[in-house]
Every structure is written in C-alpha cells, then in structure tokens.
A and B are shown apart, each in its own frame.
Chain A
Amino acid sequence: MQSSDHLSCYDGELNALADLAGDFDAASPADTHRWIGAQWRSVANALGWSRPLERSFLALQAFAEGGVPAQHLTEKAALDAFEDWHIDRPIVSRGLTLAQRRELARVQTIVIDKLDTNGRGTLNRWRPYISSTSLPNKACVDLNAVGTVTPQGPGGIRAARVTVRAKPLMAAFASAPRSATYFRAFRSDTAPSYFADKSTPENVSECDYPVVLSLGTFPYVYGGVLGSYAPGLTWTTSTHSPARRGMTVAASFWQAEPNLSQDARVVVAQYRHFRATTDRVLAGVATPPAENHRPIVGEVHRRGGLLHVYQGALELARFQGPRGVLAASSYNYIKLRFAAFFAARRAYLRARASLSPAARSAIARNPDPCLRATPRLAVERA
C-alpha cells in the first residue's frame, strides 16, 4: 500500500484534504522543519499572533546560525510567542475572582496534562472523552475553597494587568450547570455539534461530567462553539497556562511519534462528521470556476476547499445551522488542523525507513487497522 493509499484506506477525500496543509519530505530534517514552521505560521496567522511568532523564529534562526534549529527549540520558541501574546489578551472573568480564575487555570492545566498522558496509553490525545471523576480535582473548582487575592498579592504584576471585561457573549463559555460552590473546568461537549452527535452520559452531576475536548483542533475545543470566539483562547493564563498546554498538544501531531501514536480512526470519524454537518450549513456557498468567476465585495465562496470572503472579514462571515453558529474563520482553521494531521501521517509513512525507534514503536502498538494494513510495516512488525 502506498502512503497515499493509506489515507484512502480511511476515506477517499483525505488525500485532497491533506494537500491543503502542504506536503513535505519527512526523511529530510530541513524539509520537515520547514513544513512544521509553515503549520505554526498557519495557526498564528489565523489566530492573530503572527508577529510575535516571526520575532521568535528570527531570534531562533540567529541562535541557530543558519542551521536547522532542533525541533524542541522551534516548538518552545513558538509556544513562548503564543503564551506571551495570549497573556496580553483581554481577560474573560465569567464572574470569577482573580483567585478563582487562577485556580481554574491550574485545574485546567493539570487536567490537560492528564488527558495528554492518558491519551498516550489510549492512543487518543486528539479528542479524549473521559469522565471527570477520573481526572485531577474531578475537573472542577471549589469556588468556596479558593481564597481571594489582592492585586498586590502573589503574582502581583499579572494581577495588576488583569482587566475584567465580561461580555454577554462570553456567558456561552461558562461551564454549565454551575452551583454556588463548584465550577466545572470545561464544558461538557455532549450536545449534537459539528464534531459529534449527541452522547448521553449517565449519572451526570456537578463534578461528575464527561470531559470532551477536541485538543487536536485547539483552540476550537468544543464542537458546538465554532463562532468567531475560540474557547481555548478565553482560558486564563496566570502561573499556569492551559492555553499553552492545549496548543502544545495540538502542535504535537505535526511530529512523527505523537502523530503515529494517535489512532487515526478517532480523527477520521470526527472529520467525517465535521464535513457532513458543515457541508449542510454551507450548501449555499458557491464554488465558482476559477477562470470565469469575478467575485464581488463581501462575497463568500469556496476555493481550494476553504472559505474566502472577497475584500471582507472571514470572522464576520457566520452561518447559522442547527448545531450552532459556524464562522468561516473557524471552519477554515479546523479544516486545516485536520489537513495537517493527515499530511503528517502521509509524509511519515512515506518516509518510514527514516523513522525513529520511538515512531516505529508507536506504529507497532497502534491498533489502527489502516496502519496495520500497510504491507511494509507489517513485514517490519513480523
């Protein structure tokens, strides 16, 4: 089976999807570095931190003195730029005090850590689905147990920079239901959405709820919240940065071992659902032939698998569907994250001879039947 056949094993359209993220020679460290840099730039451009990223990359390039920087240094440079940018964003208070937001950030971070660790065992870090009772602090914050912190207290500098600006729309991101005492660290994304159909968890209570986070598409982690606001970007950064943690997981899928450790069936299923549900919402959006089409100002159209607004703002192009608002900007972002996953999968399998022992080991323990169907890999496992 050719590596392109590998993607076809899941779905006939995945090769075209992967092409949206570009191809690379995974046997070449330089080309791999180039491609991963392009993914960072794609993310940063879409979310609005391209300048901090470029500054960080320039500094890293100077440090590398013309060579190819080590992957972990590139990742650190990008994540540092992201976190620095994220810290300066307006705070979403959700009615919580500073101390409570800090505790929430701590709990969110350690939960994502746990999901990441767990996911290496379950081979699903992309969109884990796990009961909160299995997670640190039950993925909950006891509001009454958190003391108040004055602006001049610990972490005073960052506390002083916090501006509480609650907007009505942000209420959409408040974990619900909320008692007077407990605050869920995450929404329970179990309603019918663009990521999955409805799931009906049993015995749901305050701090016993399903934690379902689409970390692979961070910061769009909830399938029913695909408007202009990205939920992951509303998470407070203080001593802990759950947003950085989420971005770390999302970016990890561009590298060989983390990508090959993921059971792609989870990703495929989510993508198929996303494609089917968004196709219905976007049915009226034209895909004009390139040669003849003359766009008009404000026109939304599809080109190359993505949405475009001629002379207009993608973030203002919003479509209302039965599973919620779908912004053109979030649609493109999410689709490109899926594309990057499959582009990486395809490239690493094509260059399987050059894979690290860790990556080979990841393949060996992956129950993904399409991965197992790859003939040469089967010989290697024998």
Chain B
Amino acid sequence: MNRALVIGGTAAAVATAGSVAYYLYRRGQAKELGPGTEPAPPLDSPAPNAPEPGPAPAPAPSPLPATTEAERVGVWDNVLPLPTAEDVSGDLESNWGSTPRTYRPLFQLMEEASGIEGSARIYSVIAYGESRYVPSAQNGDGDTARDKAERTYSNRAWSTMQGFGYNADNVPYGPEAANFGSGGLLGALAPYFLAIGAVTLGKAGAPLLKSRPQIIFLPRVAAFHGVVYLWRLHTQHDVRDIPDIKVGWGSPSLLSAKNRGSATYTKIREKFVGHAREVGIDLSKLPSKLNVDGFTGVTSVFEKIVGTLPTRAG
C-alpha cells in the first residue's frame, strides 16, 4: 500500500502541498485555541470614518457544502509568478531564519515597493503565525469551533462595513466574503480584505472591492493587502513597537489606551516574539519602530506588487 500522504485519496487526485500543510496547520490552530483564548474580533473597520458600528450580525451561517480544492481556492487569470531574487535588491540571506526562500523576495518586495524600511522580515513572522507560509490557508470553511468563530467575525466585519455604505452593489461578493472567515498568506478577514485601499482611494478606486474573496489566496494580492494594512495601522493607531504590529493585525482596538496592557494584548505580543524566535528572525536587528513616512502610496504599491488585477476563471 502506498503510504505516501496524498490529498484526495486517489491516484488521480492532485496533491496540494498547501492542503497538507494547511490541514495540519488548521489542526494545530484548533488545538492552540481553547476557552478564553479566542482572538478578539476587530472592533473597527478599514474605513473608520464613522464611529457607529453596524447592527448586530445574525449567527454565523452553516459552512458552504463541501467543495473541491479548486472550487475553494479558485483558478485565476493575470497572476504574476512570485518575485525572485532578481526582482529585489535587498538582503535575502541574513536574519531570515527558516523563512522559505521562495517567499523572501516577496516579503522584500513588500518592503521595497512600500518604502517602509525594515518591514520585510516582520511580514515573514506574521505569515508564519497566520498561515505557516501556506498561501491557501483558511479558517472558516469547516465546522470546527475556530471555523465558526472566524465566520462570526467575518459576518460581523461585513455588518460593520454595511454601516459605512458598503453593500452588495459596490461589493458584489460582500455576502460571500461575510461567510468566508479569514485566510491567505498573511491572514485577513475576507470582507476587510476586499475593502483595503478604500479609505485612501474611495470605494470606486479600491482595487479588490469587486473581487471574489478567494483572491485572498494569491500571495501577491495578500502581500498588497498586508502592506497597506501595515501602513494604515501605523497612521491610524498607536503602534509603539514591532510586536504592537501583530496586536493590531488581529484587532487594532487592542492598541487603544483602554485595551493596551490587557491579557489578550500581552498574549499576542508574547506569541509574536515567540514566533520570531521559532522562525529564527532576530527582532533586535530590525528598527524598534517602523517609520511609514516614506510610504509610496496605495496605487504605487498595487502596481509594483500585483500589477494587473487577477480575475477568477473558475
């Protein structure tokens, strides 16, 4: 009997390395989360111009019927290959630890395209914590407690966004994103993911607003979101050091005066530092606090990292 680990169970099935690692990662995540350790939901939206939140969301709907991996992840057109060493100029060798070599140029491109010096390796630690570098990682497509929690959060996010004028007309896949949960290389709630850039460019200019939420699985698109989110985090919230970035990554409200220093705030910081140690990235060699004054702009970052907006083919 072939004891090789093959996803699909048949000789003709396509083995997806992402699925293998993603499955194991999700199991790990489910074990990691126990009572009292659920991540705090984001209390604001990427478009925080109006303070009032939306109405309380309905209970998280049941997951969609089981799909194939191709249906879950999607087939996309206009997808650039991952960047290589030739596409960046920065150091790809020192202080990267066990960051997969495949992704180092992508993280370095995020730094160079954005002008936010010192950010490249931070994205690696974030990716390690969020997805273990599996671009098709997702929380929300199953029936575990974590999946249900993530769908609750994404529903809440969509509900909040609706309070800011987002609807099925300007976000045609908003309802689908609401039932998606979170995912991607750097981890993001699907509705907020689609709305990235809208604060700066307006709803008409936000590049992902009319895309299906599975675009989150494309590494370059996830990278674009990550860069803009990092910038927004620094301009809109009190980010005092590198671990604060990870706190705000999941819930910017934890950076407020009221919540800073809470048990959840501290736990997230410690976990992030631990992840850096596990990856082998020495945070003391990075700037103690990032300077985002040199941010090159949302449109510029999109053009340099994504290029042409991918469209779903299947």
**Chain A residues with a Cβ under 8 A of chain B:** 48-51, 85, 88, 90, 165, 280-286, 288, 294-301, 309, 311-322, 328
Task: Known A298-B22, A313-B100; judge A319-B12 contact (CB<8 A).
Answer: no
Answer whether residue B173 sits at the interface, using C-beta atoms and an 8 A cutoff.
no
Tell me the bound Cα distance from A294 to B71 in angstroms.
12
Tell me the bound Cα distance from A90 to B99 in angstroms.
13
- The residue on B at minimum CB distance from A320 is B5
Answer whether residue B313 sits at the interface, using C-beta atoms and an 8 A cutoff.
yes
Tell me the bound Cα distance from A294 to B312 in angstroms.
11
Spot the interface stretch: B129-137, B146-154, B189-197.
B129-137
Q: Are A298 and B314 in contact (CB under 8 A)?
A: no
Show 29 A/B contacts (Cβ-Cβ < 8 Å), sorted by A: A88-B93, A90-B280, A165-B280, A280-B4, A282-B15, A283-B2, A284-B2, A284-B6, A284-B15, A294-B75, A296-B75, A297-B73, A298-B22, A300-B17, A311-B135, A311-B218, A311-B219, A313-B102, A315-B100, A315-B101, A315-B102, A316-B21, A316-B102, A316-B133, A318-B20, A319-B5, A320-B3, A321-B3, A322-B3
Q: How far is the CB of A54 from chain B (nearest CB, A)?
A: 9
> Which residues of B have CB within 8 Å of A49?
93
Interface size class of B (residues with CB under 8 A): 35 or more
Tell me the bound Cα distance from A295 to B81 in angstroms.
12
- The residue on A at minimum CB distance from B220 is A311
Chain B 155-194, CB-CB to A under 8 Å as 1, else 0, gives 0000000000000000000000000000000000000000
> Which residues of B have CB within 8 Å of A299?
14-18, 69
- The residue on A at minimum CB distance from B184 is A297
Answer whether residue B286 sits at the interface, using C-beta atoms and an 8 A cutoff.
no
Tell me the bound Cα distance from A289 to B14 in angstroms.
13
**Chain B residues with a Cβ under 8 A of chain A:** 2-8, 10-22, 69-70, 73-76, 79, 81-82, 85, 92-94, 100-103, 133-136, 217-219, 280, 313-314
Q: Are A48 and B93 in contact (CB under 8 A)?
A: yes
Additional A-B contact list (5), CB under 8 Å, known A88-B93, A286-B15, A328-B17: A280-B4, A294-B313, A311-B79, A316-B134, A317-B20
Q: Are A318 and B17 in contact (CB under 8 A)?
A: yes
Q: Are A88 and B94 in contact (CB under 8 A)?
A: yes
Tell me the bound Cα distance from A299 to B8 in angstroms.
12
Q: How far is the CB of B73 from chain A (nearest CB, A)?
A: 5
> Which residues of A have CB within 8 Å of B20?
317-318
- The residue on B at minimum CB distance from A315 is B100
Q: Are B101 and A48 in contact (CB under 8 A)?
A: yes
Tell me the bound Cα distance from A165 to B280 in angstroms.
9
Q: How far is the CB of B312 from chain A (nearest CB, A)?
A: 11
> Which residues of A have CB within 8 Å of B217?
297-298
Q: How far is the CB of A246 from chain B (nearest CB, A)?
A: 20
Q: How far is the CB of B198 from chain A (nearest CB, A)?
A: 25
- The residue on A at minimum CB distance from B102 is A313
Q: Are A296 and B313 in contact (CB under 8 A)?
A: no
- The residue on A at minimum CB distance from B3 is A322
Q: How far is the CB of B14 from chain A (nearest CB, A)?
A: 4
Tell me the bound Cα distance from A269 to B49 in angstroms.
69
Q: How far is the CB of B53 from chain A (nearest CB, A)?
A: 33
Q: How far is the CB of B83 from chain A (nearest CB, A)?
A: 11
Task: Known A311-B218, A312-B135, A313-B133; judge A298-B18 contact (CB<8 A).
Answer: yes
> Which residues of A have CB within 8 Å of B18?
297-299, 309, 312
